[in-house]
Structure 1
Amino acid sequence: MINHTNKMKMLERQLSVVMTLLCCVHFHVQSSNHVEDGIRRSHFPEGFLFGTATSSYQIEGAPLEDGKGSSNWDAFSHTPGKIENDENGDIADDHYHRYLEDIELMSSLGVNVYRFSISWTRILPRGIYGDINPSGIMFYNKIIDNLLLRGIEPFVTIHHHDLPLELGKRYGGWTSPLIQRDFVHFAEICFKSFGDRVKYWTTINEPSLVVDLAYMRGIFPPGHCSPPFGNCYTGNSDVEPLIVMHNMLLSHAKAVELYRKHFQAKQGGSIGIVAHAFMYEPLRDEECDRQAVNRALAFVIAWVLDPLVFGEYPDEMHSILGRQLPRFSLKEKSLIKGSLDFIGINHYGTLYAKDCSLSACPLGTDRPIRGYVETTGTRDGIPIGDEQTGMPKFFVVPSGMEKIVDYMKTRYHNMPMYITENGE
């Protein structure tokens, strides 16, 4: 969530992440070995969306300005030692004051869609325990209106990791089922305030990344973990991720139910969720590693999407975690099943997967919560891709995009998909 270097800040200010629409994926994506020179916009189908993507804490700054309340990231980034060089998002890209410049930049790039997230604490400074902040509503209204004036479609994420600090202090945030009520309350305000102009909604960005980094490894707020994943003051890395994901999925489904019942027909929008989606290749030419690939995909992607499409957690998880997995009641199954109009895909690379049920692996990867899978970007010291990304462990593997889209298309029966983030 934090931009650690000047280079990353520059990239964010240039809004360089591309978003494209793959509606039902009825066309073939060229492999990396057959990329055509001189690609033009006219080569893409009519209605194909080219855009940019950001999140509120990464770009806005102004953490306490105009009535905004404190978020989990505001507090976490100001805790010494939590963030590299003790940096924080107090200024970030100063989007709160420079949003008109940023919209002009987008317009100059020729994009026709902008994905951004709404800061929960800019709308509800204390969550459900306080009033709506009119200045926050006004800020996002100005963004939406100015985007539309320039022919740029707003694509809005309701929650992108920044949670009101108040909710964490009162009942533990995502670890409590109370969060479901509060999330729906926040979503309803967004639908009422912006839904007349917003036609693309996503509820939550990358739930599986949140449970991994915030509740398993403890490097995102609230910083919960336990050995061997990390040494945090509190948390249980084998249990809390399951609870948090369960609450996120039910929060999503209840918000979708509200939208469909009271807003969708009148406002004419669609609603989905965004999945964190690496592709994986077997580290060794062995059946156990091919099965490890299947488990890696299930424990990262299907953990989120299977319940929302089919009404239940993936079989790959049931076979390993069994009764440890939280259960959906019959009413909840009916609620979550089919609670997607589309899938959002955030894809940044491909990794090797190695089986850890039969092979020796580092501590942490050899546990049920990880699906007994170790992932790595290299094999025998050779990177999986020719170029390194901005993240040291990740490499550019263009064919991975085609493969991850094909995996989603097959597993989820050709459901409409948006590439909501990709790049280096």
Structure 2
Amino acid sequence: MGTTILADGLEKKRKIEEEWSSIYLSLTRPDFPPHFTFGVATSAFQVEGAWNEDGKGSSIWDSFAHVPGNICDGSNADVAVDKYHRYKEDIELIAKLGFKAYRFSISWSRIFPDGFGTEINLEGIRHYNNFINALIENDIQPYVTLYHWDLPLNLLNSMGGWLNEQIVKYFAIYAETCFSNFGDRVKNWITINEPLQTAVNGYCTGVYAPGKCGNSSSEMYLVAHHQLLAHAEAVSIYKNKYKDKQGGEIGLVVDCEWSEALSDSIEDRNAATRRLDFQLGWYLDPIYYGDYPETMREKLGDSLPHFSERDKELLNNSIDFVGLNHYTTRFVRHAKTDLEDNDFYRVQEADRIAEWEGGEMIGEKAASSWLYIVPWGLRKVLNYICTRYNNPPVYVTENGMDDEDDSTSPFHERLDNKLRVSYYKGYLAAVHQAIKDGCDVRGYFAWSLMDNFEWHLGYTKRFGLIYVDYRNGLTRHLKSSAYWFLRFLKDEQGKNGKLD
């Protein structure tokens, strides 16, 4: 039996590599649709700093990062990379590189310091108005995320945050305030970024704020449920009151690591499908099909909340586009108990594996332990979304890789990140192929514009196209990957910037 499985695995490896080698083409910018959006992305907490300036209230991540032991290098994001004060410089760099879109998030507690919406912080409104105006002046379209994990701390302390269904009302108040103040210029809205990460890492593993760990596993599913309801309520407000007048679109960002069945056995294929249900299906099935995936219902029973008829009505097709954050791929095989010791993975009965059956790694490894470079996985997940959800418009809202922070190597070596260039070449080729397959992919955002505070990893990992010198005044320096994008995006005739 073991020999047969190994043979199947090696044959799968041969087929995938043979197919991928045939599509890794020399692409140029003109090979993508004329109106295809190329952008870069950041989030407020990771880059803004100014954590308690100009009337801003504390967020759960401000509190979490200030607790010793929560951030691996003992750092915090009080200053981060100081985008709050240096945004004009950073916008000039975006324009210089040739990107026409910038995905960023608004800090909820900078708009409403208490989270409830009782008193608007006019300094926060002023800042984002100035920021959005500066983008447009530089011919860069804003793609605005309303919630990228930084919940106002007062909402957690006073009412339990995402565990309390009342948060849906407060998120709706915050969302409408943003629509009314910024929607005349913002035409692309995202309600919530990666709700899975808030639910699982915030309420199961505890490595993200608010750091809940070891509690009832039902909490993470309740948090996810309330995020979906908050999304639907905000979309309803936008579509009923603002969309016709402002002419924008609104979507949700989900994250998905592609799950490739380790073998062609029914057990492994079913395990890979279950894994996808617990990633994409958890959030997209209620929107497109009215309920959580059947596999989740079977595995979780009463731990999984139910939708009312009103909930289903609001959720029904409540997105103009799907935002997909994708970084890496794993093989999956059926297993009664998962090797990872937490409820979220164990219940899926799916082992996640980073090796081919012959022992070779699935792809070259980036700095983070979870991130392997597997471009063909992005093509597969885009096709999966296309097939399962009737080909909705999709933006790849995050895609990138990290390096270790290394202050000992020569400075020019830290800027010459050849592996990141290779990463982007491969993954952009995968996007191009998915478009050829018939997927309605409309844009691609590189993560990230610049090195920044990488959540519980602090400043130990660098995802940026732009190097931020943390030890010398936060000066910005273009990496080789930034120069590669500059050549690629400004090549309108297809003569330079090839992906070969």
Q: TM-score when scaled to structure 2?
A: 0.74
- CA deviations on 1:311-370 (whole Å, 9 max, x unpaired) are 11111212222333101011111111111111000000101212223xx54353676874
2: CA distance, partners of 1:262 / 1:211: 30
User: Which amino acid letter does the alignment assign opposite residue 319 of structure 1?
Assistant: E
- What is the DSSP-based 3-state SS (H/G/I as helix, E as strand, rest coil) of the residue aligned with 1:141? helix
The 8 Å contact of residues 261 and 333 in structure 2, kept in 1 or not, is answered as yes
- Distance apart, 1:129 and its partner CA: 5.6
Q: Is residue 2:79 matched to residue 1:102? A: no
Paired with 1:31 and 1:76, the residues of 2 have a C-alpha distance of 42
Contact in 1 for aligned 2:117/2:170 (Cα 8 Å): no
Partner of residue 211, structure 1: 199
Q: Deviations over 1:300-319 (max 9, x none)?
A: 11101111122111112122
Q: CA contact under 8 A between 1:180 and 1:248: conserved in structure 2?
A: yes
1:397 maps to 2:397: no
CA distance in 1, matches of 2:229, 2:77: 29
Matches within 5 A, 1:16-31: 31=20
Give 1:293's match in structure 2, choosing from 269, 272, 282. 272
Which residue of the other structure, out of 318, 333, 339, is the alignment partner of 1:354? 333
Q: Does 1:35 align with 2:24?
A: yes
Query: d(CA) in 1 for partners of 2:340 and 2:227?
Result: 27
1:15-48 Cα distance to aligned partner (Å, 9 max, x none):
xxxxxxxxxxxxxxx94542222x3221211101
What are the residue-to-residue correspondences of 1:186-225 with 2, within 5 Å?
186-225=174-213
- Structure number, greater radius of gyration: 2
CA distance in 2, matches of 1:245, 1:166: 20
Are the aligned partners of 1:342 and 1:417 in contact in 2 as well (CA < 8 Å)? Answer: yes
Determine whether 1:419 maps to 2:396: yes
Match of 1:26 in 2: none
Contact 1:195 1:267 in 2 (8 A): yes
Q: Is 1:173 aligned to 2:161, yes or no?
A: yes
Q: CA deviation at 1:374?
A: 2.5
CA-based RMSD of the aligned residues comes to 1.6
Segments of structure 2 that go 5 or more residues without pairing to the other structure are: 1-18, 402-500
Amino acid paired to 1:64? N
Q: Is residue 2:359 matched to residue 1:343?
A: no
* Counterparts of 1:94 and 1:221, CA distance in 2: 21
SS at match of 1:208: helix
Number of equivalenced pairs: 382
Deviations along 1:157-197, one digit per CA (max 9) or x if unpaired, are 00000000000001110011011011001001000010000
Q: Distance in 2 between matches of 1:280 and 1:296?
A: 7
Separation of aligned partners in 2, 1:103 and 1:368: 40
Unaligned runs of 5+ in 1: 1-29, 227-234
Task: From the superposition, tell whether residues 147 and 32 of structure 1 become closer, same or farther in structure 2 (CA, over 3 Å).
Answer: farther
For residues 81-230 of structure 1, the aligned pairs below 5 Å read 81-128=69-116, 130-226=118-214
Other-structure match for 1:331: 310
| 1:114 alignment partner, SS class | strand
> 1:232-285: per-residue Cα shift (whole Å, max 9, x none)?
xxx22x211110011000000000000000000000000010001110112345
Equivalent residue of 2:271, what SS?
helix
Equivalents in 2 of 1:32, 1:120: separation in Å? 45
Query: For residues 280 and 402 of structure 1, what CA distance do their matches in structure 2 show?
Result: 12
Contact 1:31 1:402 in 2 (8 A): no
Task: Provide Cα deviations, 1:126-180, integer angstroms capped at 9, x if missing partner.
Answer: 1116411111111111111111111110000000000000000011100110110
Q: Give secondary structure in 2 for the equivalent of 1:136.
A: helix
Q: Which amino acid is 1:53 matched to?
A: A
Relative contact order (C-alpha < 8 Å, sep 6+): which is higher? 2
User: CA contact under 8 A between 1:59 and 1:93: conserved in structure 2?
Assistant: yes
Matching residue's letter, 2:361: P
Task: Confirm or deny: 8 A CA contact 1:366 1:374 kept in the other structure.
Answer: no
The residue number in structure 2 matching 1:270 is 249
Secondary structure in 1 matching 2:351? strand
Q: Is the Cα–Cα contact under 8 Å of residues 321 and 369 in structure 1 kept in the other structure?
A: no
- Aligned residue type for 1:289: D
Contact 1:321 1:368 in 2 (8 A): no
Partners of 1:365 and 1:31 lie apart in 2 by: 34
Residue 59 of structure 2 corresponds to which residue in structure 1?
71
Q: Is the 8 A contact 2:41 2:102 kept in 1?
A: yes
- Residue 324 of structure 2 aligns to a residue whose secondary structure is strand
What's the secondary structure of 1:382's corresponding residue?
Answer: coil
Q: Which amino acid aligns with 2:392?
A: M
Residue 87 of structure 1: how far off its partner (Å): 0.9
Measure, in 2, the Cα distance between the counterparts of 1:368 and 1:388: 22
Q: Could you tell me which amino acid in structure 2 is paired with residue 294 of structure 1?
A: T
Are the counterparts in 1 of residues 204 and 344 from structure 2 also a CA contact under 8 Å?
A: no
Name the CA distance, whole Å, in 2 between partners of 1:332 and 1:371: 26
TM-score (norm 1): 0.87
Q: CA deviation at 1:376?
A: 3.0
8 A contact 2:117–2:173 mirrored in 1:
no
